[in-house]
Amino acid sequence: MNASIITIGDEILIGQIVDTNSAAIARHLNGAGIVVREKVSIGDDREQIVATLRRALTESQVVVITGGLGPTKDDITKKTLAELFGSELVNDPTVAAHVERMLAERGIAFNELNRSQALVPACCTVLFNAHGTAPGMWFEHEGRVVVSLPGVPFEMEHLMQDEVMPRLKARFALKQIVHRTLITSGLAESMLAERIEAWENALPPYLKLAYLPNPGTVRLRLSAYEVEGESVSQEIERRFAALRTLIPEHVVGFETATLQELVHDMLTERRQTLATAESCTGGTIASRFTTIPGASAYFRCGVVSYSNEAKADVLGVDPATIERFGAVSEQVARQMAEGARRIAGADYAVATTGIAGPAGGSDEKPVGTVWIAVAAPRGTVAVRKQCGTDRGQIIDRASSQAIALLREQIAKDS
């Protein structure tokens, strides 16, 4: 079964915000065996909303729309849907009471605009939004389903999970979609493709292979669409097992786990602890771990030692070492990792020091130069990496490379 996703908002088309909603919705639909055919983003424009929705309904049995449900004049999705489905806007007393209560909790008076949020097309089923003031709406139209959700990501997320998915599963007889992802590390995409060519060519036609390169890893995803039963999952398991014998040293994990999730799982299982000492990555490594639920079981302390004084005073890096080798050096990276491990009383510590740019580069240490160190119970290792030319890219890659080195060192201790 096919679905289309439509996200509405001028702010998406001018690039003022990145649309994360459609990816989240796609994951929900996919997980229930619904194939997302396309995702379309359009502006707050009546004619374009109508034209896009009409076209989507010719291609998909389910259309999920987000955005354009706010109380202000620029938001026109609700009115447009009511017109399209030939329905009046009527007051929903449950929504009205909920909006009033939510606003009261935040000390906000209930005004005309808020009252308009309780107006819904008479023909829809209201999907109760416990986390916000704009309700979700479920329409049935000529055997197809159209769902309209607010654009606030976590409100959309809760509505998809609690309201939309259970209803879709009850409404349609859904087939399965199976995706399995194997994570490799240490081989570039083209070298990996060469190494596994015979394996790839022998795949059955219903299994689709995708290469997903990232800094530090290449993921291989096998997908089977609209299948039935367990046999496909088992076939994918067999294919991955065969692949593992071809590149045993490069397989680091499965599924869509990130490198930090792999480290998270290892540390949690072994009841070991982690500290971070970041200069150029500026807290990104710490935040990648602490975003994962349960991180407090192993994450002890992170230090963002941007200034040389912080490196010396907080982490105990020898100022003479900074003076002699520079802040971006193997010696400083090692002392940062060892200092973080010591002050946090942690089993492992990972440290980064580099030049994120755009200023600060030299011939010897150009922008993008990063030293990464990992301090472990059996000693400290350090590597130099060239992480690109753009500040955001350097921070991202250096963080990934640091977590990759950390994973490798923890894995060695098993």
DSSP codes of every residue in 353-388: EE--SSS---SSS-TTEEEEEEEETTEEEEEEEE--
What is the nearest approach in angstroms of its own copies to the Cβ of residue 393? 5
What is the nearest approach in angstroms of its own copies to the Cβ of residue 3? 10
- For its own copies, the closer of residues 143 and 293 by Cβ is 293
- For its own copies, the closer of residues 9 and 121 by Cβ is 9
What is the nearest approach in angstroms of its own copies to the Cβ of residue 320? 20
- For its own copies, the closer of residues 123 and 128 by Cβ is 128
Q: For the chain, what's the residue count?
A: 414
- For its own copies, the closer of residues 102 and 126 by Cβ is 102
Pairing of strands 35-42, 2-8: parallel
Whether residue 352 contacts residue 390, with contact meaning beta carbons closer than 8 Å, is answered with no
What is the nearest approach in angstroms of its own copies to the Cβ of residue 207? 12
Angle (CA) 203 207 208, round 5°: 100
Residue 140: count other Cβ atoms within 10 Å of its Cβ.
13
What is the nearest approach in angstroms of its own copies to the Cβ of residue 86? 26
Burial 303-340 (b: 16+ CB within 10 A, else e): bbbeebeebbebbebeeebbeeebbbbebbbbbbbbbb
- For its own copies, the closer of residues 193 and 381 by Cβ is 193
- For its own copies, the closer of residues 122 and 206 by Cβ is 206
The token pair at 342 is 């010591």
What is the nearest approach in angstroms of its own copies to the Cβ of residue 72? 4
What is the nearest approach in angstroms of its own copies to the Cβ of residue 389? 7
- Residue from 82, 100, 95 nearest 136 by CA: 95
- For its own copies, the closer of residues 36 and 168 by Cβ is 36
How far is 400 from 192, CA to CA, in rounded Å? 19
**Cα separations in angstroms, 284 against 159, 334, 370:** 30, 19, 14
